[in-house]
Amino acid sequence: MTSIQIDGLKYQYPTSDFKLAIDQLTITENLVAIAGQNGAGKSTLFKLLTGLVHPQAGEIHINHRDLASLTPEDRLKTIGIVFQDPSSQLFNATVEKEVAWSVLQVETDAAVVADTVNDALATVGLTELKDKNPFDLSMPEKKLLSIATVLAVNPQIYLFDEPMISLDWPSQQLVTHLMQHLAEEKHQVIAITHDMNWLAATFAKVDVLADGQVIFEGKPETFFGDSALTQKTGLMTPRIMQIAQEVFDDSRVYLTPEDYFEKHSEKR
Ligand SMILES: Nc1ncnc2c1ncn2[C@@H]1O[C@H](COP(=O)(O)OP(=O)(O)OP(=O)(O)O)[C@@H](O)[C@H]1O
Ligand SMILES: [Mg+2]
């Protein structure tokens, strides 16, 4: 089982007053959401977890190994990130070369590289576009390609920064199923999201950040049931909860429409 242990973490950008300060955070679940308002520090936490920026204080341990002590190759195999903006991740001449470039960071056998590239492209449905220039792809296709570049390395931990943004409905379904599949395969999948409907339907654990600190860790059901906390963090409850409240004056927690019908059919 994969675990992330954060202790006494402090980070400040050289040019900003924002301070990230996480005393202690343990992530052991396989499918975890990170929520919080704009500027709460979610993407900064991901940058720290991938070693893109280094903390001024504190430690991050992954599977009891200090992140700072990992070689670049070990780090790539341990934790991979899909950025919010896929363009920042793409720079090769073709879709196929883009994925191959990623694999070559951790694998030298040409036959293995070719097979891995084919598998990753097939998983995200981009096989037929393999000779295209990544910059000629549509936004959802670019995002799927950036996911393929991480899949091809197959890290233990996958970080997704706003994976649903700029995806059409079929791609959202594909990516959600892929994340669930990875979690079932014992990978750890952590996603930042502003989409509370998707969060409520997909994740059993949420960590909520506000002003650079973790202010809630637990089940989405518990978080959405605490109206003082949701108001304080400025996060919406799932749409079905708002409808139940507005239409039926019902303030119970409902994660999805299915959850609503289940809870009501229990009563009958
Ligand atoms: N490279 C940077 N240099 C200076 N300040 C930065 C940099 N990146 C982010 N910040 C600041 O750090 C704070 C936290 O930013 P961060 O990107 O982690 O927030 P976030 O929770 O991901 O927000 P959003 O939901 O808008 O993506 C913000 O005040 C932001 O302006
Ligand atoms: Mg962000």
- What CATH number has the domain bearing residue 193? 3.40.50.300
Structural domain count of the chain: 1
- Residue 78 falls within a domain, yes or no? yes
pLDDT score at 35: 98
pLDDT at 88 over 90: no
Q: Report residues whose beta carbon is within 6 angstroms of any ligand 1 atom.
A: 13, 15-16, 18, 36, 38-44
The pLDDT mean for the chain works out to: 94
pLDDT at 233 over 80: yes
Say whether 122 sits in a helix, a strand or coil.
helix
Please compute the mean of the pLDDT values over residues 224-228 and round it to a whole number: 94
Distance from residue 148's CA to the centre of ligand 1 (Å): 26
pLDDT score at 266: 66
Distance from residue 189's CA to the centre of ligand 2 (Å): 17
- Residue 63 falls within a domain, yes or no? yes
pLDDT score at 265: 86
Q: What helix, strand, coil percent values describe the chain, rounded to 5? A: 45, 20, 35
pLDDT score at 57: 97
- Residue 140 falls within a domain, yes or no? yes
The residue range of the domain holding 16 is 4-237
- Residue 29 falls within a domain, yes or no? yes
Sheet containing 79-82: order of strands: 79-82, 157-161, 188-192, 31-35, 205-210, 213-218
- Residue 248 falls within a domain, yes or no? no
* Residues measured by CB to lie within 5 Å of ligand 2, the ion: 43
Q: Say which ligand is closest to the CA of 194.
A: 1
pLDDT at 268 over 60: no
Query: pTM (2 decimals)?
Result: 0.95
